[in-house]
Amino acid sequence: MTQPPARLLILGRSGQLARALAAQAAGRFDAVRAAGREDADLARPGSATGLIAEWRPDAVINAAAWTAVDEAETREHEARAVNARGAGEAAAAAPALGARFVLVSTDYVFGGAPGAPFAEDAPPAPVNAYGRTKLQGERAVLAACPGAAVVRAAGVFSGAGSDFPSAMWRLAEARNEIGVVDDQLTGPTFAGDLARRLIALTLLPDAHGVFHCASGPQLSWAAFAEACFDLAREAGAPSARVKPITTADFPRPAARPADARLASTRLEAVTGLPAPDWRTGLSKALDAWLSSR
C-alpha cells in the first residue's frame, strides 16, 4: 500500500474502543465502517472475510474480541473461535487486497513470570484462558498477514460501559467502602488515547509486528480506584473509601496477572506519540460517566 488508506473497516461497533476508533477516524479516511456482530461475526467462519471481500477496505482494525475473562475459563473453545481463529481468518483476507491489518490484543498475554514492565519481545506467559486465546490470535494474525501490527493494550476504560472506573463510581452509589486488589499492577489506558495511537499506526504501512500501548504512571488497581474516587469527590460525584485487599481475598474463576505492566517505547518511537497519562483520560471518563446518568 503506497497511498494512505482511504477506507477503514473497524471490526467491532458497540464496544468502548470501537466507538473511540470511529470518533478518531472521522475526517482521517474517505470512508469508515464499524461492523457489529450482525455484519461480521468472528465466531462464524467466513463472516468477516465475506465483509472484507465485499467492502474492500484499505485498512482493517480488529477491535472485536471475546473479553469475558472469567467466562472464558469454562468456554475457552468459544473464546478461541473469536480471539484466535476468527482474528486469523480476518487477517488472511487482507493481503489479497493490499490492506493494512491491525489487531488489538491485551496485556493478559503476560502475568505468569516476573520481568515487568514487559517489552514487546518478552516471552508471553498467560495465566488464564482469555490470555491464551488472545496470544493464539496474535500468532494467527501475524502468520496470515506478516505485515500486520499487533497492539497490546492494558486496562482500557472510557467512562461508558463496564470499564473499571465506571464500575467503581457505580458501586460508590451504594457503598461507603470498596475492596480493591492492591497486589496486581497495571497501566490503565483511556480508550480515546488508545484509539488515537491505533489510527496513527494504521496510517504507517511499514510499521508491523508487536507494539505495546499502556498509560503511565503504572500502579495497582487499588491505587487506580483511589484516583477514581478522588476525582469523583472533587466533582461532587459518588465516591467511597478504598480498602486494599489481596488477590487471595478476592478469588475469581480466572487468575489475573500479578504484574502485566507494558513498556510502550516501540509504539512511541514509531508514531511519535508519547505514552499517554491516564489521569487526563480519567477526567474525560468521569465527564462521560456523569453525562450518562
| Active site amino acids | 130
Amino acid at 220: S
Cis peptide before 117 (omega within 30 of 0): yes
With vertex at residue 38, the alpha carbon angle to CA 37 and CA 42, rounded to the nearest 5 degrees, is: 40
Q: How many CA atoms lie within 13 A of 76 on its CB side?
A: 13
Q: Are 76 and 129 in contact (CB under 8 A)?
A: yes
Rounded to 5 degrees, φ, ψ at 112 are -95, -5
Q: Are 245 and 180 in contact (CB under 8 A)?
A: yes
- Strand, coil or helix: what is 172? helix
As beta bridge partners, residue 259 has 185
Which set of grid coordinates corresponds to residue 192?
480515546
Q: Which of 92, 67, 97 is nearest to 79 (CA)?
A: 67
Q: Which of 206, 188, 171 is nearest to 262 (CA)?
A: 188
Q: Which of 187, 188, 179, 170 is nearest to 247 (CA)?
A: 179
Return the number of other C-beta atoms located less than 10 Å from residue 150's C-beta.
26
C-alpha separations of 210 from 55, 99, 264 in Å: 27, 18, 10
Q: Say which residues have a Cβ less than 8 Å from residue 220's Cβ, sequence separation at least 6.
A: 181, 182, 183, 184, 185, 186, 244
Residue labelled with grid coordinates 494467527: 140
